[in-house]
Structure 1
Amino acid sequence: MSQFALIFASFYGLTAVIFGAFGAHLLKKKLTTDQLNSFETGVKYQMYHAIVLLIIGFQLPLNNSLDTYIIYAFILGTFLFSFSIYGLVISSAMDKKLKILGPITPLGGLFLVLGWGLLIYKFAVTFN
């Protein structure tokens, strides 16, 4: 499971850099300030959680189902949250807003919150 976390951490880190450059250079002239801020939020959260997955992959023993749930929550949450923002912003800039993506962003956020909550639970149980 640690290899799985590390692969996704690396993928999310790589694509966060690519999307960050894409937003800063190519989209900057095509997006409104609000759209650019939203896009940057997606990039930031993606990079933050890439780093979290790296740390988890290297530091947690990952030998039980709780650890697996934590990893899945961060992977799924990051994908749903950040990539739905990218889709919303780019489709909106092209005047073809994909409204179906709107409810996906908060769902991704819920998975991220779940991942953090499970991590808190793991540490609370481990240190008692």
Structure 2
Amino acid sequence: MNARLCLIVASMSGAIAVMIGAFTAHALKDILTSKLMAVMQTGVQYQFYHSLALLLVGLLLQQRSTALLKLSAMSFFAGIVLFCGSLYLLAFSGVHWLGIVTPVGGLAFIVGWLMLVWNFITMDKR
């Protein structure tokens, strides 16, 4: 993932998080149970956090493109799709087996952060 694509994806992800959050708060407040509302809120929160992380990585990629930063960006994107996406689908559909995908997305988030750490640790060595 190059810097431009990373910044575009991060910006779109942030916009989508706002839309999903607003839709959930206004259109679904009387439809979803409080438990499913909490699931949606968790998805929106994590999407916001990792949209900002992806934005940071995109800005870093503009300065210096490294394999670790690219892997971090791809991991954050995968986490948004898998973690947040599975929570949204679970809340909208009520299909609880989708919850087995959520930890895979969480692992992708962790990998993204660790690749970012590793990038900073090895930065002076390059």
1:114 maps to which residue? 111
Q: For 2:66 and 2:121, how far apart are their aligned partners in 1? A: 16
Counterpart of 1:118, as a letter, is M
Q: How many angstroms does 1:98 deviate by?
A: 5.4
State how 1:98-113 maps to structure 2 within 5 Å.
99=97, 101-113=98-110
2:7 maps to which residue? 6
2:88 maps to which residue? 86
Counterpart of 2:115, as a letter, is L
Counterpart of 2:4, as a letter, is Q
1:44 maps to which residue? 45
**Structure 1 residues not aligned, in runs of 5+:** none
Paired residues, number: 123
Matched, 1:22 2:44: no
Q: How many angstroms does 1:62 deviate by?
A: 4.4
Q: How many angstroms does 1:47 deviate by?
A: 0.9
2:33 maps to which residue? 32
Please give the per-residue CA displacement for 1:53-75, whole angstroms capped at 9, x wherever unaligned: 11221134342221211110001
**Do the aligned residues in 2 keep the contact of 1:81 with 1:104 (CA within 8 Å)?**
yes
- Root-mean-square deviation (CA, aligned residues, Å) is 1.3
**Do the aligned residues in 2 keep the contact of 1:2 with 1:62 (CA within 8 Å)?**
no
Q: For 1:45 and 1:98, how far apart are their aligned partners in 2? A: 19
Counterpart of 2:9, as a letter, is F
**Do the aligned residues in 1 keep the contact of 2:17 with 2:47 (CA within 8 Å)?**
yes
Q: Under a length normalisation based on structure 1, what TM-score does the superposition of the two structures give?
A: 0.90
**Do the aligned residues in 1 keep the contact of 2:24 with 2:37 (CA within 8 Å)?**
yes
Q: For 1:13 and 1:77, how far apart are their aligned partners in 2? A: 14
Q: For 2:64 and 2:6, how far apart are their aligned partners in 1? A: 10
1:71 maps to which residue? 73
Q: Percent of pairs identical after alignment?
A: 38
Counterpart of 2:93, as a letter, is S
Q: For 1:71 and 1:88, how far apart are their aligned partners in 2? A: 25
Please give the per-residue CA displacement for 1:55-104, whole angstroms capped at 9, x wherever unaligned: 22113434222121111000111110001100001111xxxx252x2211
